[in-house]
Amino acid sequence: MNLAQPTLVSKFEADGHVSIDGLLDHHLLDEISVAVKDLFSGKRDQRPPQFENKNLDTEYWSESLIQVNFASFCCKRLRKLVFNQQLAEIAKELLETSSVRLWNDMVIAKRPSPNSMKKGVIGWHRDRQYWRTCGSRNMVTAWIPLADCGPENGSIEFLAGSHRWEQSHEGLDFYQEDRSGIEFRIASSGRKIERTATTLRKGSVSFHGCRLIHGSGPNVSSTERIVVAIHYQPEDNHWVRATRANGELIQHEVDLLVRRNDAGDPDYSDPEICPTIL
């Protein structure tokens, strides 16, 4: 089955993102919404033993944002979406790989924020900057709003063409709500800032590559904006040594969870933590 037609793949290559309307069944999204509500209210499934006794920061709660990483490990009902074969098929085509594995998944909720406060902004960032231990620079995210999503409730936005810019991550930060500083820096370097807003009807899915700069504005609607993000890795992805400017070794949370390979390095094909989806 070739769900990602050549036009989608070429659009993805040109723009760094692509959205597909009417992909997911509303009943499935409603089931997932109930599961997320339960997750937020504290109902959790037992996570695999790999998660125990690790100093893992898997959740972020603020007055405007909730972020639960590795969500499908503590809410197994999310697996119906995370292992959705149609989504994986598209990810596989976009990555031009023969199989895709889970890198991780997360639920991101943006609480309503009155107009005057404009809180809950997700700062401009590239996913790649957080995945520097990945040998592949070719990873993709399926961004799945559980209800209609647009500029009013803080839908995802992209900086057009930024997947083609030099891959400096300086100043980019998911948690930096004030995006003016980095916009100024980009503009000063002679780059044109063209913000691509998105409007996605319930059932639509947006896919973005890991080198594209993206973020999102505040949720000034009266209801919570809930999104499930599934991050896929291609078959050839493997751990690589990466260091910060001060020489410190970078460690991703996945590194703490996966088994080790013969060389003693994190194995990003561990079937328990990074299972093959397709």
Ligand X SMILES: O=C(O)CCC(=O)C(=O)O
Chain residues in the site for ligand X (CB under 6 A):
108, 122, 127, 141, 143, 156, 214, 216, 227, 229
Nearer residue to ligand X within complex by CB, 221 or 261: 221
Nearer residue to ligand X within complex by CB, 94 or 227: 227
Find the shortest distance in angstroms from Cβ 261 to ligand X: 27
Nearer residue to ligand X within complex by CB, 113 or 216: 216
Find the shortest distance in angstroms from Cβ 154 to ligand X: 6
Query: What secondary structure, in 3-state letters, does the chain show?
Result: CCCCCHHHHHHHHHHCEEEECCCCCHHHHHHHHHHHHHHHCCCCCCCCHHHCCCCCCCEEECCCEEEEECHHHHCHHHHHHHCCHHHHHHHHHHHCCCCEEEEEEEEEEECCCCCCCCCCCEEEECHHHHCCCECCCCCEEEEEECCCECHHHCCEEEECCHHHCCCCCCCCCCCCCCCHHHHHHHHHCCCCCCEECCCECCCCEEEEECCCCEEECCCCCCCCEEEEEEEEEECCCCECCCECCCCCECCCHHHHHCCECCCCCECCCCCCCCCECC
Find the shortest distance in angstroms from Cβ 228 to ligand X: 9
Q: Among all residues, whose Cβ is closest to ligand X?
A: 216
Nearer residue to ligand X within complex by CB, 74 or 122: 122
Find the shortest distance in angstroms from Cβ 187 to ligand X: 22
Find the shortest distance in angstroms from Cβ 216 to ligand X: 3
Nearer residue to ligand X within complex by CB, 226 or 267: 226
